[in-house]
Structure 1
Amino acid sequence: MALTLHVDGAKWRAAQDAALAANPGLVPVIKGNGYGFGPATLYAEASRLRVPMVAVGTYAEVPGALAGFPGDVLVMEPFRAAIHAGLPQVGEGRLVHTITARVDLDALLVANAAARVVVEGLTSMGRFGAPVEKVGDLMAAGHGEGVTLHLPLGSGHIDEISRFVEAVGGIRPFFVSHTTSDEVAALRHRFPEHRFAARVGTDLWLADRSAYEVRAHVLDVRPLSKGDRVGYRQRPQPAGHLVVVSGGTSHGVAMESPASAATARSRAIAVAEGMLEAAHRVRSPFTVSGTMPRFAEPPHMQCSLLTLPAGVTPPLVGDIVPVRMRLTTAYPDAVVIE
């Protein structure tokens, strides 16, 4: 019983190599669930790419990164004196801290006078960062190694990044997120004295969707008569077959972030999906016998109950079925790189 991420190693690594070739100097982002592959796997891949630095999301991820990757580790979460000052890894020489405020910088330098820092600028993303007019002072006070900018999704970032480059002054490396390779190339052309390094996660690890697939096992199959009740909630089922498959909420099955609903079409889809959920008619992400059957009830922690319609040939116990999942929310039992 397992939910497994199968990876075509040659195709997956070819996509990584292509991403690095298109964006020289990129900093791989390895955070959270490791984009479904697991952080340890990605540390090894970053080492294979021979990049000098990786970026992690939080200080909680630092020990694993330092152990799994031989180069520098940039922490994208800003250093906060009230939270991080006592962490043992603050003194680690390979660690690069993100600073957004003078009070935090001063506390970091008390904890480690030789601390390495980058200064985050407050962009239109609006999450955290120092206003553009204060970035230069923080850089000077902390002997900053560069400026980091986290941009919104989409394109059109060149002018916003340029404002920071022009305001900060001096020759500084800039670490930028959610920029295209064309934007980075344009910035290098506009400011040839500066180094621009894109922090890349999704477009590096998930670039070729044909290179990986999540798969589940069929654990049980039983015929259903109309009205048969199954599961924790004893919901009546239509005629067909009950198929029990590996993969549930602990793996991220059917776990989704809120929809952005930015367009009329996406809002209509969200409304339709809500109505189907209210009627207990939600389609599962599993493909069984060529169809995507509905959940018989919400997924369990480690398995799911599916209702296969009458007339569809049921699978056999032990069969393997593909699962359509967002890898950024997936926690497979195993990752198999072939």
Structure 2
Amino acid sequence: MTLRLTVDGERWRRHLLATATAHPGIVPVCKGNGYGFTIGRLARRVQWLHEHAEQTGTPVDMLAVGTYRELAEAATRYDGDLLVLTPWRPVGGAVEVPEAHGHRVVHTISRLEDLRDLTDRDPRARFVLEQLTSMRRHGMTRRELVEAGHLLAERRLPGLQGMALHLPLNTSSHLGEVTRLINDMVAAGIGTRTVFVSHLTRDELTTLRATYPDFTIRPRIGTDLWLGDRGALQVSSTVLDAHPIERGEAFGYRGRSMPKSGHLLVVSGGTAHGIGLEAPTGDQSIRARAATLARGGMDAVGFVRSPFSIDGKQRLFAEPPHMQASMLFVPSGARVPAVGEDIDVRVRFTATDFDSVVVT
């Protein structure tokens, strides 16, 4: 009786191989909840991709994790280099990397003072330098990059693995910005021809490689790799209980009065799994705003659309999800699933923890 992710293994593996083939130098991203799969499972799959390099035409010699805390889960399941996307800071896990896999770790450096500090501690530390993009989250400005170039030359640091660009998600082309940033890197005298990039399309990557044929462009890819073929992924929830209920009867934690007759359905999956927890989408369209207003009006009268579907019909939450289960309202006349039956669930994979992941 679980919230389960079932994966069509053959179709999913075919997609992974095709994605690696289409993106030479790919750096798979395995962070957070592992896109619903867990970091450990993805790390094993990256090892599998590397072992199929003859088929894809590209070795997968590096994977990226989000934080230093995530290193341990990946390091025991994958043999290659481990890029940490969160910038190095002289505190916490960043300065406590176990010796067992410390030589495999590639740090991200986004501040000049951190470059000094890290290489003071370990002159042979391996790292990428992150440039500040229009996303404006982490990274060095053009002036700071020039200073970093002087420091690299002065100290003759051997650990530079490349430059890193974390670009925003949008529908316009990033090529103009990337070209400017690469030119800034060259002008600053940074002695590398490897650039790690995110959120570029396949066409943009092709154009970039043609523009800079003496550079190695390495795309960091997470969502499009692991979740790129949604048809291979199915999420299901188990029906735990079903109760007929009449209009006016009280139910649930808050003793609400049922506005219609029908059935209460108790299904697996609640806030502990990420059900009902929604991050802001950033969508500013009129349609998105109207949908937000509509959801607010439904909530005011106790009707909120849930991600659970029965016979293709998305059903309403009877009340906010519980920690490990949810209560749905099934109106009179609609089919009521039997206890033990599985129903479909639509989830945001990066915010969902499944009880079970089954790869066929």
TM range (shorter): over 0.9
CA-atom RMSD in angstroms:
1.6
- The aligned residue for residue 294 of structure 1 is 316
For 2:20 and 2:35, locate their aligned partners in 1 and report how far apart those are by CA, in whole Å. Answer: 18
AA of the residue aligned to 2:178:
I
* 1:275, distance to aligned residue in structure 2 (A): 1.6
For 2:86 and 2:205, locate their aligned partners in 1 and report how far apart those are by CA, in whole Å. Answer: 23
**2:217 matched to 1:201?**
no
**Is residue 120–residue 135 contact of structure 1 (8 Å, CA) maintained in 2?**
no
1:189-215: per-residue Cα shift (whole Å, max 9, x none)?
Answer: 000000001100011000011101111
**2:102 matched to 1:86?**
no
* 1:89, distance to aligned residue in structure 2 (A): 3.3
What does residue range 77-226 of structure 1 map to in structure 2 within 5 Å? 77-84=86-93, 86-89=95-98, 92-138=102-148, 141=152, 142-143=157-158, 144-154=160-170, 155-169=172-186, 170-226=191-247
* 1:15, distance to aligned residue in structure 2 (A): 1.3
For 2:23 and 2:301, locate their aligned partners in 1 and report how far apart those are by CA, in whole Å. Answer: 47
Q: TM-score, normalised by structure 1?
A: 0.96
**Is residue 112–residue 147 contact of structure 2 (8 Å, CA) maintained in 1?**
no
* 1:112, distance to aligned residue in structure 2 (A): 2.0
For 1:149 and 1:267, locate their aligned partners in 2 and report how far apart those are by CA, in whole Å. Answer: 32
- The aligned residue for residue 259 of structure 1 is 281
**Is residue 261–residue 270 contact of structure 1 (8 Å, CA) maintained in 2?**
no
AA of the residue aligned to 1:33:
N
AA of the residue aligned to 1:224:
I
2:327 to 291, 294, 305: 305
Aligned pair in 2 of structure 1 residues 171, 290: CA closer, same or farther (>3 Å)? closer
**Is residue 87–residue 107 contact of structure 2 (8 Å, CA) maintained in 1?**
yes
Q: What SS does structure 1 have at the residue aligned with 2:184? A: helix
For 1:258 and 1:309, locate their aligned partners in 2 and report how far apart those are by CA, in whole Å. Answer: 30
For 1:63 and 1:113, locate their aligned partners in 2 and report how far apart those are by CA, in whole Å. Answer: 23
For 2:199 and 2:339, locate their aligned partners in 1 and report how far apart those are by CA, in whole Å. Answer: 44
For 1:136 and 1:44, locate their aligned partners in 2 and report how far apart those are by CA, in whole Å. Answer: 39
Return 5+ residue gaps in structure 2 as ranges.
51-59
* 1:329, distance to aligned residue in structure 2 (A): 0.7
For 1:2 and 1:66, locate their aligned partners in 2 and report how far apart those are by CA, in whole Å. Answer: 29
What does residue range 235-274 of structure 1 map to in structure 2 within 5 Å? 235-237=256-258, 238-274=260-296
For 1:40 and 1:252, locate their aligned partners in 2 and report how far apart those are by CA, in whole Å. Answer: 20
* 1:241, distance to aligned residue in structure 2 (A): 0.8
* 1:225, distance to aligned residue in structure 2 (A): 1.0
Q: TM-score, normalised by structure 2?
A: 0.90
* 1:298, distance to aligned residue in structure 2 (A): 0.5
- The aligned residue for residue 55 of structure 2 is none
Q: What SS does structure 2 have at the residue aligned with 1:174? A: strand
* 1:133, distance to aligned residue in structure 2 (A): 3.5
AA of the residue aligned to 1:163:
R
**Is residue 6–residue 212 contact of structure 1 (8 Å, CA) maintained in 2?**
yes
- The aligned residue for residue 14 of structure 1 is 14
AA of the residue aligned to 1:162:
T
**Is residue 296–residue 305 contact of structure 1 (8 Å, CA) maintained in 2?**
yes
* 1:171, distance to aligned residue in structure 2 (A): 4.3
* 1:61, distance to aligned residue in structure 2 (A): 0.7
AA of the residue aligned to 1:152:
P
* 1:327, distance to aligned residue in structure 2 (A): 0.5
**Is residue 163–residue 192 contact of structure 2 (8 Å, CA) maintained in 1?**
no
Q: What SS does structure 1 have at the residue aligned with 2:182? A: helix
For 1:192 and 1:16, locate their aligned partners in 2 and report how far apart those are by CA, in whole Å. Answer: 26
* 1:84, distance to aligned residue in structure 2 (A): 4.7
AA of the residue aligned to 2:176:
D
Aligned pair in 2 of structure 1 residues 85, 269: CA closer, same or farther (>3 Å)? closer
Which segment is superposed worse, 227-236 or 132-141? 132-141
**Moved segments of 4+, more than 3 Å:** 82-86, 88-91
1:280-323: per-residue Cα shift (whole Å, max 9, x none)?
Answer: 11011111244222111101000011110000121111101110
* 1:136, distance to aligned residue in structure 2 (A): 4.9
Identity %: 43
- The aligned residue for residue 75 of structure 1 is 84
Number of residue pairs the alignment of both structures matches: 338
For 2:148 and 2:74, locate their aligned partners in 1 and report how far apart those are by CA, in whole Å. Answer: 26
- The aligned residue for residue 351 of structure 2 is 329
**2:255 matched to 1:234?**
yes
1:237-288: per-residue Cα shift (whole Å, max 9, x none)?
Answer: 2201111100000111111102313211111111111221222110111112
For 2:292 and 2:281, locate their aligned partners in 1 and report how far apart those are by CA, in whole Å. Answer: 7
For 1:269 and 1:290, locate their aligned partners in 2 and report how far apart those are by CA, in whole Å. Answer: 20
* 1:111, distance to aligned residue in structure 2 (A): 2.6
